[in-house]
């Protein structure tokens, strides 16, 4: 991917295009999913609090930890794989079967560097931003669900978010997001780039890209937890 590279201006233009497609194009679905996940987490946490000795601020505390450690980076990564991963695989697969990639090679352009590198770079930069947005909206969704339904007061929920906060969990969330972005973009690019056949095989490549990416995300999630939290 780093052999026979084009000019910096060329990659910058390609990066901006991919960043808009990958990042901006995913904001709506990420916002919807993360908001409702936070709301559901708050409601289910309140449902499982059966002891009167447990303070209401625990709802905000659990929503915070669940969101930062797992829900924001991992669940969003599954959605990211379904939307962005399938799009990358489908785009590259279509270019392969229509001989557009071969045309780039004939012109002396490193097709892997030209097509894949901007996608991976844009994913690794834009996806952590999406995760930060998802974490905020998930906490806010939990706040709305808890306060509007009377499960907790606004003061208790915010106190729970602040209580016992460990800054390292943010670092862990961002490390996971970078790793997940690399896995989704590289796996999807590989599946699409090496597609053979016709339109049916392009669809199969997109499906394989999503399923393989989801498996890789879950495996990496466990390994990162063992390495960084154990």
Tens digit of pLDDT at every position of the chain (230 positions): 788 888 888 899 999 999 999 999 999 999 999 999 999 999 999 888 877 777 888 999 999 999 999 999 999 999 999 999 999 999 999 999 998 998 988 988 889 999 999 999 999 999 999 999 999 999 999 999 999 988 889 999 999 999 989 999 999 999 999 999 999 999 999 999 999 988 889 999 999 999 999 999 999 999 999 999 87
* Structural domain includes residue 224: yes
pTM of the model: 0.91
- What is the residue range of 47's domain? 8-229
Q: Where are the alpha helices (DSSP H) in 23-153?
A: 27-48, 57-66, 76-80, 86-97, 100-106, 111-115, 117-148
In whole angstroms, give the CA distance from residue 197 to residue 202: 8
Q: Are 95 and 115 in contact (CB under 8 A)?
A: yes
Count of structural domains, the chain: 1
Q: Give the rounded distance of the alpha carbon of 115 from its chain centre.
A: 21
In whole angstroms, give the CA distance from residue 53 to residue 168: 29
* SS3 call for 205: helix
* Structural domain includes residue 1: no
Determine the Cα angle at 186 with ends 225 and 217, to 5°: 25
In whole angstroms, give the CA distance from residue 209 to residue 192: 8
* Structural domain includes residue 3: no
Residue 188 has phi, psi (to 5 degrees) of: -65, -40
């Amino acid at each position: 991917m780093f052999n026979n590279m084009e000019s910096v201006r060329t990659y910058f233009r390609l990066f901006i295009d991919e960043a808009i497609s990958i990042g901006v194009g995913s904001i709506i679905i990420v916002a919807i999913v993360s908001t409702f996940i936070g709301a559901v987490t708050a409601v289910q946490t309140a449902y499982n609090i059966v002891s009167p000795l447990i303070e209401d601020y625990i709802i905000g505390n659990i929503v915070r930890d669940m969101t930062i450690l797992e829900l924001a980076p991992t669940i969003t990564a599954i959605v990211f794989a379904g939307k962005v991963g399938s799009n990358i695989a489908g785009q590259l697969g279509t270019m392969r079967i229509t001989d557009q990639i071969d045309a780039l090679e004939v012109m002396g352009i490193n097709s892997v560097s030209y097509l894949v590198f901007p996608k991976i770079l844009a994913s690794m930069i834009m996806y952590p931003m999406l995760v930060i947005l998802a974490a905020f909206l998930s906490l806010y969704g939990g706040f709305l669900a808890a306060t509007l339904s009377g499960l907790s007061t606004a003061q208790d929920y915010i106190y729970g978010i602040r209580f016992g906060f460990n800054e390292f969990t943010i670092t862990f969330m961002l490390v996971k997001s970078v790793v997940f972005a690399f896995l989704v973009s590289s796996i999807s690019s590989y599946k699409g780039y090496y597609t053979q056949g016709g339109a049916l095989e392009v669809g199969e490549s997109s499906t394989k890209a999503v399923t393989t990416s989801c498996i890789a995300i879950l495996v990496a999630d466990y390994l990162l937890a063992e390495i960084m939290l154990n």
